[in-house]
Amino acid sequence: MSWSPMSWTLALPWVLLLLPLPLVLRRWLPPAQDAAAGALRVPFYTALVDPQRRRARGARWPAWVGIAAWGLLVLAAARPQWVGEPVALAQSGRDLMLAVDISGSMREQDMVIGGRVLDRLAAVKAVAGDFIERREGDRLGLILFGQQAYLQTPLTFDRDTARTLLFEAAVGLAGRETAIGDAIGLAVKRLRDAKIDERVLVLLTDGANTAGSIDPQKAAELAGQAGVRIHTIGVGGDPRSAFGLTLGRNPLDERSLKAIAETTGGRYFRARDVDELQAIYAMLDELEPVESDQASFRPVDELFEWPLAAALLLSAVAVAGRAGPLRSLA
């Protein structure tokens, strides 16, 4: 049956062919045989028959109620449905893994949000949370890494869970050192078997590879072979200076992060503050667009319970109507 923008239809319209079934059965099946009953002759037979005939004519209404109940029962079996207007669905066909460094150096407080000085991980959480929220239509995964890499969230459409687990991450839970190669290797393992063309890893770190069993460049080559594109983000402010002296040092290995991105066809970004980090995620939204095509579905509400309930009610009324005269004669 054709659908208008908003209409009702029958999921199984052929079931309506069962409507004349009771008439067919009545026509072709032999009638039920009444049990033999004795006859009683009375002198006032004529006076007795006329009220019985009137009662029989009045008792025909249960049959009509039964016919209506049968029609409603067949209608319910045909599954009437209300079909709503088309609803667009975003389909990006993309698997995106987010690998976040939670090593000891991410405790460094050199990021500012709203006039407040925060550590690097807190800044990443604030900005990455919004980035995750915008990834409607993508499957997201989360890897946390320090001295070891852990899969915190497998690929999922549940963005709220991914955000929650990111916000619950704490510095040092995976060790104080940084295993960039292991994080890339774990992401490749989770992404390479996906039956999808777009596989993306966004890697955030503030240091150099100091732990792990996999060399970052070798892991990047494996990622390129598996069709995984890596965007790397170096997090952290520049070393402060005073009186001509440099205070502290920046362990960030930008050369290695650039090489990882270039090997896989991705890009390297430098985030010295929260504004730059937000700008990077905006650029990633352009590089990895949320929607690649559109699909739609039409919401369907099942309505069979209404004719089914009416059929049961009418059946009960018909049974009560047929039982009434029997009780009156008892």
Helix locations, the chain, DSSP H? 21-28, 45-58, 61-77, 120-133, 159-167, 180-191, 216-225, 254-264, 274-287, 305-329
The predicted model gives 65-86 an average pLDDT of 87
Has residue 111 been placed in a domain? yes
In angstroms, the Cα distances linking 227 to 42, 62, 81, 231, 263 are 100, 72, 44, 13, 11
Query: Do 116 and 242 belong together in one domain?
Result: yes
Backbone phi and psi for residue 153, each to the nearest 5 degrees, phi listed first: -140, 120
Q: What is the mean pLDDT of residues 132-142?
A: 84
Same domain, 287 and 209: yes
State yes or no: pLDDT of 329 exceeds 50. Answer: no
What gap in Å lies between CA 90 and CA 107, rounded to an integer?
A: 37
Same domain, 93 and 75: no
CATH code of the domain covering residue 255: 3.40.50.410
Residue 37 forms part of a structural domain: no
Question: 232 Cβ partners below 8 Å, 6+ apart?
Answer: 203, 205, 257, 258, 260, 261, 266, 267, 268, 269
Domain for residue 1, yes or no? no
Per-residue pLDDT at 244: 44
Total domains present in the chain = 2
Q: Is residue 2, in this structure, part of any structural domain at all?
A: no
Contact between residue 330 and residue 109 where contact means Cβ atoms under 8 Å apart: no
In percent, the amount of the chain with pLDDT more than 90 equals 23
Q: pLDDT at position 271, please?
A: 80
Give me 250's structure tokens: 């920046």
Give mean pLDDT, residues 17-41.
72
What is the model's pLDDT at position 247?
A: 42
Give mean pLDDT, residues 307-312.
Answer: 90
Give the list of residues 6+ apart from residue 229 with CB closer than 8 angstroms, or none. Answer: 199, 200, 201, 223, 264, 265, 266
107: nearest Cα among 118, 99, 116: 118
Banded model confidence at residue 1, pLDDT cuts 50, 70, 90: very low
User: CB–CB of 225/254 below 8 Å?
Assistant: no
Whether 308 and 233 map to the same domain: the answer is no
- Residue 289's pLDDT is 63
128 in any annotated domain: yes
DSSP codes joined into one string, 154-214:
EEES-HHHHHHHHHT--TTTT-SS--HHHHHHHHHHHHTT-SSSEEEEEEEESS---S-SS
Q: In this predicted structure, what is the pLDDT of residue 34?
A: 55
Asked whether the predicted pLDDT for residue 106 surpasses 90, the reply is no
254 and 168 co-located in one domain: yes
Using one digit for the tens of pLDDT, what is the confidence trace for 208-266? 888 888 999 999 999 999 999 999 988 876 555 443 433 444 567 888 999 999 999 99
User: Residue 185 — very low, low, confident or very high, per pLDDT cuts 50/70/90?
Assistant: very high
Residues 64 and 108 in one domain: no
Choice between 274 and 92, residue whose per-residue pLDDT is larger: 274
* Least reliable range by pLDDT among 78-92, 166-180, 314-328: 314-328
Amino acid residing at 164: T
**Average pLDDT of the residues of the chain:** 78
CA dihedral of residues 147, 152, 155, 156 (deg, nearest 10)? -160
What pLDDT is attached to residue 284? 78
pLDDT at 144: 93
Domain for residue 176, yes or no?
Answer: yes
Please tell me whether residues 253 and 136 are part of one structural domain. Answer: yes
Together in a domain, 226 and 265: yes
Percent of the chain with pLDDT over 70: 74
Structure confidence at residue 57 (pLDDT): 52
> Does 149 lie in the same domain as 23?
no
Residues 218 and 159 reside in one and the same domain = yes
36 in any annotated domain: no
Average pLDDT over residues 272-285: 79
Full residue range of the structural domain in which residue 130 is found:
89-295
Q: For residues 306 and 188, state if they share a domain.
A: no
255 alpha carbon, distance to own chain's centre? 40
- pLDDT for 180 equals 92
Q: Are residues 207 and 219 in the same domain?
A: yes
Residue 32 lies in a domain: no
